[in-house]
Amino acid sequence: MADRLIASFVRRHLPAVSIRAELELDGGSERVMVLFGPSGSGKTTILRCLAGLDKPQEGFIRFGHDIWFDRAAGINQPPQQRHLAYVPQDYSLFPHLTVAQNIRFGMNTGATDAHDRVARLLRKVHLEDKSGRRPAELSGGERQRVALARALARDPRLVLLDEPLAAMDLPLREPMRRQLREFLRSIEVPSVVVTHDRVDALTLGDRMAVLTEGSIRQVGPVHDVFSRPADVAVAASVGVETVAPGEIVELHEGLATVRIGSARILTAQPLAAAQSVFVCIRAEHVTLESVRRDAVSARNQLDGRVVAIQYEGALVRVTVDCGVSLAALVTRSACDELHLAEGAFVVAAVKATAVHLVPRSAS
């Protein structure tokens, strides 16, 4: 198993602007950590502190038995002593060097098996037939793979990637997500990936840390964070479409009844009675029907009226007024079958397990 990364530090940009990080990552089955958040939230700053390119003002960074940074002890190892790989957003390939020469540049100058290692890395990133080409002759995806191969040339203990898919055209991003995910799993080295794209985070990461306003607000398995945000700021960051204030009015047999607007909704996440909460529901967890149904697993069936329809490729985003504004995602065929239009009456069905509560005191 690879060494464990443990970091707890503060990096100040201005007296009123601080980036706070609390991270832990090892080389087990959950070895890809995504730093997720909007532009300006501090993701790249954290990555640069891990790489040794920026210096925190407080805290420590440890990797295995090595101390990379410790403010109290006066330790700050330079980047070259941390034995990590840093892949910037623009890849920073040398335009005058060939693919093979770019990869060779990343190796120790005295490596006796450099030719064989370059050949192995070219095979690993499936660029055996492009070794003599220069970066300008490659596609965006091929340049990324060269950058990854060069990053691995020194056998790093940790890989850091800053927005690795941001420069990709939209048609290329989906296949490149899959290829990058497979690559990160194959190298058996812990990785930290910066992204502001939700699909990238879901595809690439095992765990994720959500940053808002300069601090890490929640860390956990990717799907847990997306479906169970810790507070309203995280819910907004990960794109939970319905976030509404409510009050728990009843607890019964493991279910809580929450009043939101003029509606009541059941959830399988009971908190304290009479507690003020935010109700969080993802649009993909809302099913629309033309009439109420008896034999359904959803414990919540809310009568409502369509107030907005927005087409998003193969999907349609529908906003329904059920006494509270509720967002739903349906297919175009479902939209046609239900004859959805503004003003149409529908039933919105939501499973109790899909309703997540955040205490208002946590936000």
- Could you give phi then psi for residue 159, rounded to 5 degrees? -115, 130
- For every one of its 363 residues, what pLDDT tens digit does the chain have, with 9 covering 90 and above? 457 899 999 988 655 567 888 888 877 778 899 999 988 888 999 999 999 999 999 999 999 899 999 999 999 999 989 999 998 888 889 999 999 999 988 786 566 678 888 998 898 888 889 999 999 999 888 888 898 888 888 889 999 999 988 877 777 778 888 888 888 888 888 999 999 999 899 999 999 999 988 889 999 999 999 989 999 999 989 999 999 999 999 888 888 999 998 999 999 987 766 689 999 999 999 999 999 887 666 789 999 999 999 999 889 999 999 999 999 999 999 999 999 999 999 999 999 999 999 988 755
**DSSP-H helix ranges across 4-42:** none
What pLDDT is stored for residue 313 in this prediction?
86
CA dist 114 and 93 (Å) reads: 19
CATH tag, 5-237:
3.40.50.300
Sheet of 242-252, strands arranged across: 263-267, 255-260, 242-252, 276-281, 356-359
The helix (H) or strand (E) run that includes residue 256 is strand 255-260
Burial class (CB in 10 A: 0-12, 13-18, 19+), 359: middle
**DSSP-H helix ranges across 106-197:** 114-124, 140-152, 170-186
Report pTM.
0.84
Residue with tokens 């009226």: 305
Closest CA to 50 of 87, 20, 79: 79
Residue 81 neighbours by CB under 8 Å, 6+ apart: 52
What pLDDT is stored for residue 136 in this prediction?
92
Would you kindly state where each structural domain of the chain is located, as residue ranges?
Answer: 5-237, 242-362
SS3 344: coil
What pLDDT is stored for residue 49 in this prediction?
93
SS3 242: strand
What pLDDT is stored for residue 215 in this prediction?
86
CATH tag, 242-362:
2.40.50.100
